[in-house]
Amino acid sequence: MTIRPDSLAAAHLLRHAVAIGSDGVQERIELGIAEETPLTLIFNEFHVYAVMMVTPLDLHDFVLGFVLTEKIIATPADLISCHIERHEDQLSAHIRIPGVDFSRLIRRGQRLLTGSSSCGLCGVTDLNEIATPGASLSAHSILVPAIRKALAALPELQVLNQKVHMVHAAAWAAPDGVIHYVREDVGRHNALDKLIGILSQSPRDPGRGFCLVTSRCSYDMVEKALTLGISTLVAISSPTDRAIQVARKADMTLIGNARPDRLAIFCGAHRLIKPEAVEMSA
């Protein structure tokens, strides 16, 4: 797995609490708590597009993934620069993009609401602007045992979650089930944006492997994954009906309720080798 560039120190802190047991005995304990920090996205020095609530970890990956999945730029090379600044308890990302992309962004306007850590598309006024156009996804097959292998390995690779037990992860695994990238955030959409950011810079083909998310799978999670040509998406919870519809239309393989010993395939079973051991949803 690739080395994480940022320190975990900025992403969590220790807080004291009083625990009360079933016997009524009180105990003072110390718990790891994840940070949730506002990040203002400022384009070409003056246009404030959005304020997102994020875990301050892997922020350059987040910015790149965000501008790709929001269709602000078309390719990673279109991100000219990104500089992160901290001002007391908030952050700002100063992002430079080409003039043509910036002009299109200005016409789009601002998000109308602050994007909370649980929100992927809050404040977007036109869903057609961020909808992923139909594209040909990879037809490469994935071994069911490889998915099981990755699901079993993921908890140990969630280094922040081991400290705070409260953040989501998004991961990408190669066809053999070996996880190469993991990104974490208090927001499930943010974790996936971070993963897309780092994966978009990788020489690996996203469509040849598969993506894991430790969260529910709403349609915007599917849309984000499709942005990078991810052909197989595995979620530990069930997808929404709209997510299934979007995935089916794109010919994506969508798996939910994913555990090492049980999977539910909602669409795209043709990519899976020997899927007879898994539950096929109607």
- What is the Cα–Cα distance from 81 to 116, expressed in whole angstroms? 25
Question: Tens digits of per-residue pLDDT, 176-230?
Answer: 999 999 999 999 999 999 999 999 999 999 999 999 999 989 999 999 999 999 9
Tell me: do 274 and 212 sit in the same domain: yes
Tell me: do 160 and 209 sit in the same domain: yes
Enter the tokens of residue 192: 């996936």
Tell me: do 203 and 255 sit in the same domain: yes
Tell me: do 49 and 98 sit in the same domain: yes
User: Is the separation of the CB atoms in 200 and 76 below 8 Å?
Assistant: yes
CATH of the domain at 224: 3.40.140.10
- Domains identified in the chain, total number: 2
Task: Put residue 177 in one of left, alpha, beta given phi > 0 → left and psi -120 to 50 → alpha.
Answer: left
Query: pLDDT confidence of 231, banded at 50, 70, 90?
Result: very high
One DSSP character per residue, 49-72 reads EEEEEE-SSSHHHHHHHHHHHTTS
Question: Tens digits of per-residue pLDDT, 25-46?
Answer: 888 988 888 889 999 999 999 8
> Which is the catalytic residue, given 82, 119, 122, 217?
119
Kindly state whether residue 256 falls inside one of the protein's structural domains: yes
Tell me: do 170 and 252 sit in the same domain: yes
Identify the domain containing residue 70 by its residue range: 37-129
Tell me: do 55 and 169 sit in the same domain: no
Tell me: do 188 and 89 sit in the same domain: no
Catalytic site includes residue 119: yes
Tell me: do 265 and 167 sit in the same domain: yes
Q: What is the pLDDT of residue 282?
A: 44
Domain final residue pick, 129, 164, 193: 129
Kindly state whether residue 233 falls inside one of the protein's structural domains: yes
